[in-house]
Amino acid sequence: MTADTPPISVSGLVKSFGRTRALDGLDLTVRPGEVHGFLGPNGAGKSTAIRVLLGLLRADAGTVRLLGGDPWRDATRLHRRLAYVPGDVTLWPSLSGGEVIDLLGRMRGGLDPRRKSDLLDRFELDPRKKGRAYSKGNRQKVGLVAALASDAELLLLDEPTSGLDPLMEEVFQECVREERRAGRTVLLSSHILSEVEALCDRVTIIRNGVAVESGTLDELRHLTRTSIHAELAAPPDGLALPGAHDVRIDGTSVTFEVDTPQLDAALRVLTGIGVRSLVSRPPTLEELFLRHYKDELQEAGL
């Protein structure tokens, strides 16, 4: 594996459970040193894809390369180089959190005790409690500390912050930024858009087991619409805006969404009339996301 081989490269991945097709030709490429957001609602196939990457599930079809190897055949060799946090960390009732952190670290090939105690402090986690005594959020912290204290080159995080309070969410984001500065690659599956927006260099949106969109946030925004609200010098008369949608005119004020490639042309039309004030807002990730799930939401009657 050379320096620019993608740590994760998946194409046409299919995985079925009985009659359900959990992954239906998924493509996913994660580049070295990036934090890659893996975005989709519950049941979209995020966890299934990560489990295939970990060699816990066997792919039915497609190619999957992880750190230059085959995740099913070379599982144990590859696992020395990665750390994994499941979305629901379950602990042994009789083992303390500290013991689990050390155990997982040692089984992965060692962990840094200084980094461990630093992380315990930052996440405000008491490592002496027994597994059964932890709340959901604290169990999640045990998994996070175990993964972050290792010096793995790839982190696979499957909705790692479920159950964390906002303060701890902030600590988590700081830690991920540090990992990126240290040159590590992170695949972060999430349905929390603000988290992905704050952390990720590139994003893949998954829906019903297929990647529907993939790229940097800027690229994705380019593919979508910008909302414009403008106060014009005079009431427009039969405004012909190229690439505009949902145009609403109220006296001199105009509100519309415009396909981002047509933004320039649309603004020229407005400046032709004369612009008093202009608010332009790039689409949020949420809008990007909702656009892909709109029909699903409509089906659900929302």
Partner 1 sequence: MNALTGTGGLIRLILRRDRVLLPAWVVWIAVIPLGFVGATDGLYPEAADRLQYALTTGTNPTFLALYGPMYDTDLGSIIAQRSGFIPVVVGLISALTVVRHTRTEEEAGRRELLGATVTGRGAGLAAALLVTFAANLVLAALLTAGMAAQGLPLAGSLAFGLQMAAGGCVFAAVAGVTAQLSEGAGAARGTALAALGGAFAVRMAADVGGAGNSLSWLGWLSPFGWINRIRAYGGERWWTLALVVVLVAVLVAAAGTLSARRDVGAGVLPPKLGRADAPARLSGPFGLAWRLQSHALYGWLAGFLALGIVYGAVAGGVQDMLKDNPDLARIFTQIGGESGITDAYFASVMSMLGLIAAAYAVSATLRLRTEEAAQRAEPLLATATGRLRWAVSHLLFPLLGSAAVLAVAGLAAGTAHGVDTGDPGREVPRVLGAALAQLPAVWLVAALAVALFGLLPGVSGGAWAAVAVCALITLFGAALGLDQWAMDVSPFTHVPKIGRDFTVAPLVWLAALAAVLAALGMAGFRRRDLATR
Stretch touching partner 1 by CB under 8 A, among 129-137, 205-213, 225-233, 255-263: 129-137
Using CB under 8 A, pick the residue from 104, 149, 176, 200 that binds partner 1: 104
Nearest to 206 by CA among 159, 140, 259: 159
Structure tokens at 81: 């180089």
Select 71 or 236, whichever has its Cβ closest to partner 1.
Answer: 71
Site string for partner 1, 199-238 (x = CB under 8 A): ----------------------------------------
Angle between helix 136-148 and 113-122 (nearest 10): 150
Strands across the sheet containing 61-66: 20-30, 8-17, 61-66
Q: What are the C-alpha distances in Å from 258 to residues 18, 226, 267, 274, 282?
A: 44, 5, 10, 18, 10
The answer to the question of residue 2 lying near partner 1 (CB under 8 A) is no
Using CB under 8 A, pick the residue from 20, 41, 63, 132 that binds partner 1: 132
Around 231, how many Cα atoms within 13 Å sit in the side-chain half-sphere? Answer: 2
Show Cβ contacts of residue 154 under 8 Å, excluding neighbours closer than 6 positions. Answer: 7, 8, 66, 67, 81, 82, 83, 184, 185, 186, 187
DSSP string, 61-94: EEEEEETTB-TTTTHHHHHTTEEEE-SS----TT
Provide the 10 A C-beta neighbour count for residue 214. 17
The tokens 């079809």 sit on which residue?
61
Using CB under 8 A, pick the residue from 49, 91, 119, 200 that binds partner 1: 91
The answer to the question of residue 159 lying near partner 1 (CB under 8 A) is no
Stretch touching partner 1 by CB under 8 A, among 31-39, 83-91, 248-256, 277-285: 83-91
Separation between Cα atoms, residue 88 and residue 94, nearest integer Å: 18
Select 128 or 281, whichever has its Cβ closest to partner 1.
Answer: 128
Instruction: Please state the closest distance from residue 17 (CB atom) to partner 1, in A.
Output: 8
Site string for partner 1, 37-76 (x = CB under 8 A): --------------x--xxxxx----------------xx
The answer to the question of residue 92 lying near partner 1 (CB under 8 A) is yes
Using CB under 8 A, pick the residue from 103, 249, 267, 275 that binds partner 1: 103
The answer to the question of residue 133 lying near partner 1 (CB under 8 A) is yes
List of residues contacting partner 1 (CB under 8 A): 51, 54-58, 75-77, 79-80, 82, 84, 86, 88-96, 98-104, 106-109, 127-130, 132-133, 143, 146, 156
